[in-house]
Amino acid sequence: MSWTRHACSPAYRVGVTATTEAGNLPTVSTAPPALQEQTVVPGVAVTLTVEGLPPQPGRWAGGWSNAGRWAGRLRRVAARGLTAPGGIVLAALVIAPGVAVDLVRSGTFGTPSAVTFVLAGLLAALAVRVRALGTAAILPPLLFIGAVATLAHFGGKNRGLREVMLDVGTTLALSAPLVFATTAAALAVVLVRLGLHLAHRRR
């Protein structure tokens, strides 16, 4: 039995069509006659088919494809909401500018940090998905402690872990009304969203 070898580049695929005396076997692929080369074997006629594949996307086509995938992911996130880690990252990004301003100005928790703290707590409660609402409800106190600890550590007014902890505790006690109000507002947003979700499911 003899076979005819056919050189193919990686941009082509090869198909084989076999014909016997009993009839035709299933065709794997077809191509124009100019791309077919036939070898006759006793009892079997084998046709080697080379079928051109579409050109591979270039650099710009791949870039647009990646941009389309990212746009689809962003649309899904906007529709479903952020995960719990995503909500934490969002809140940290919102409060970070206020902490940075206070760190440069006085090294203590001031108005910029307080404003961005409230915004961060409310935005996290609005942006997370339903399954992460529990995280959004307990996030404001943790976010406040993280912001105050950052200011106490990098503000340059405390020496050692003990003084940092005392500063955090003092600031938390003095700012308790702000923390409670922000937590209550975030909890209210969570409850409203949860109620709307349950009402939508019952329809």
Q: Are 91 and 141 in contact (CB under 8 A)?
A: no
Of 169, 98, 81, 64, nearest to 132 by C-alpha is 81
At 43, the pLDDT band (50, 70, 90 cuts) reads low
The more confident residue out of 46 and 83 is: 83
196 and 105 inside one domain: yes
At 201, the pLDDT band (50, 70, 90 cuts) reads confident
- pLDDT number for residue 112: 95
93 and 36 inside one domain: no
66 is a domain residue: no
What is the mean predicted confidence (pLDDT) over 122-135? Answer: 93
36 and 86 inside one domain: no
List alpha helices for the chain, DSSP H. 59-80, 84-105, 111-127, 133-154, 160-174, 176-202
Q: State the pTM of this model.
A: 0.62
26 and 88 inside one domain: no
d(CA 90, CA 193): 18
Q: Are 10 and 52 in contact (CB under 8 A)?
A: no
What is the mean predicted confidence (pLDDT) over 74-87? Answer: 76
60 is a domain residue: no
Of 131, 117, 121, 118, nearest to 193 by C-alpha is 131
48 and 109 inside one domain: no
What is the mean predicted confidence (pLDDT) over 73-100? Answer: 84
87 and 48 inside one domain: no
d(CA 75, CA 77): 5
At 158, the pLDDT band (50, 70, 90 cuts) reads confident
Number of domains in the chain: 2
36 and 95 inside one domain: no
At 155, the pLDDT band (50, 70, 90 cuts) reads confident
- State both tokens at 130: 């339903």
Max mean pLDDT among 8-17, 21-30, 187-196 falls in 187-196
Which DSSP state fits 109?
-
Q: Which domain holds residue 95?
A: 81-202
Over 60: is that where the pLDDT of 53 sits? Answer: no
Percent of the chain, pLDDT > 70?
61
The more confident residue out of 18 and 199 is: 199
44 and 90 inside one domain: no
The more confident residue out of 147 and 75 is: 147
110 and 197 inside one domain: yes
163 and 101 inside one domain: yes
CA atoms within 13 A of residue 51's CA, in its CB half-sphere: 12
162 is a domain residue: yes
- Residue matched to tokens 């529709």: 79
- State both tokens at 103: 């760190």
90 and 168 inside one domain: yes
Q: Which residues contact 94 (CB under 8 A, 6 or more apart)?
A: 116, 119, 120, 123
42 and 123 inside one domain: no
